[in-house]
Amino acid sequence: MTGLALPSLRRPNAPLPLVAGGAAAAWLVGWFAEAPAADWLAFTVLRLEPGTHLGDAVAFFLEDLPKVLLLLLGIVTVVTLIRGFFPPERIRPILAGRGLLPGTFAAAGLGIVTPFCSCSAVPLFIGFVEAGVPLGVTFAFLISSPMVNEVALVLLWGLFGPGIALAYMAAGLTVAILGGLLIGRLRLERYVEDYVWQLQTGKMRPISVRLTWADRLGDAWDYTRTLVHKIFPYLLAGIGLGALIHGYVPTDLVASIGGRSNLLAVPIVVLLAVPMYSNAAGTIPIVQALLGKGLPLGTTLAFMMAVTAISLPEFVILRRVIKPPLLAIFAGVVTTGILAIGFLFNSLIG
């Protein structure tokens, strides 16, 4: 199994509202039918016993795979569609004209809705700084954008409910705001590579081609199907591992190793998360199974945030525009923030 190939929706034969409506209806039917269908498959067709290790593991897998796939397909498409209206070129003038405090808050918030890929981190950084966006505000954006990952946010909401999803978002925003304010106060402009200041940015011209709704929907669906195709093997592995944990790992084991009494648990999961960069979706089923077995919320959130925000490739790319001391401060702020969130939630919530 190498991936999940989904068809393109460019230039569909049917009218656009019909395609979109049909997709939405099929999605809803799938959403409500998948849990009973999974139970029926596991316990009636495969004749597994509910309550046994094997039965629970198989039912978990059959129920979770379509659920996570539906969430990804539906919500990433919608989120990508919305984000298409907030390109960095459009939010830059909003951030350039503000003071440090309102600018930092705005940047942290906009970081959530603006599409960001570490491969455009450098032009984005230069573009912001050149336009007069303060350094702290730029970093608030650079922290919030990957830290509040929309895939993670949406899956957390769908699988655990709004409480945990909102806690994840609030925590990421707080780290981005505090980090941005700190970097702004420290006056670290000298650690930006000199050539960045000497550049003359091109005038922002409106892009000559206007996007239609068909373009936007086609873009969003293309993004989603490429993403799902890419992460599908990880998703299978993640849900498979999650199913094994759900069926076989005793609750006491997880609670005693990863419980709140073990202060090393948060740093350890953060360390484990570093090589998992960009696989937020594949890690969620594991996280779900571990939460169910007693892994505390703070440890879980720290893990989710570290997966998306501590990205070695991004640090390497940013080295082209900022000098090592600032890079170290940036990495330090992100890591410290994630650790603090882990410990804070663990001590506040039982």
Binding footprint of another protein on the chain (CB under 8 A): 10-11, 84, 87-89, 92, 115, 117, 119-120, 122-124, 126-128, 130, 195, 199-205, 207-209, 215, 218-219, 222, 317, 320-321
CB of 90 to another protein, least distance (A): 10
CA distances from 322 to 72, 108, 198 (A): 35, 20, 14
Phi then psi for residue 192, to 5 deg, are -90, 135
Is 88 or 285 the residue whose CB approaches another protein more closely? Answer: 88
Quote the least distance from Cβ 87 to another protein, whole Å.
5
Question: Can you say how many angstroms the Cα of residue 9 is from the centroid of all Cα atoms in its chain?
Answer: 25
Q: Kindly report the backbone phi and psi dihedral angles of residue 105, in degrees, each rounded to the nearest multiple of 5, phi listed first.
A: -60, -45
Minimum distance of another protein from residue 313's CB (angstroms):
10
Give 117 or 186: the residue with its C-beta nearer to another protein.
117
Residue 68: name the closest of 236, 275, 305 by CA: 236
Residues 204, 150: Cα–Cα separation, whole Å? 28
CA end-to-end span of the chain, whole Å?
A: 40
Report, in Å, the least distance between residue 200 CB and another protein. 7
- Closest approach, Cβ 316 to another protein, in A, equals 12
Nearer to another protein, 280 or 287 (CB): 280
Q: Closer to another protein at the Cβ: 110 or 156?
A: 110
**How far is the C-alpha of 343 from the C-alpha of 319, rounded, in Å?**
30
The SS3 call for residue 326 is helix
- Indicate the residue among 44 and 198 with the shorter CB distance to another protein: 198
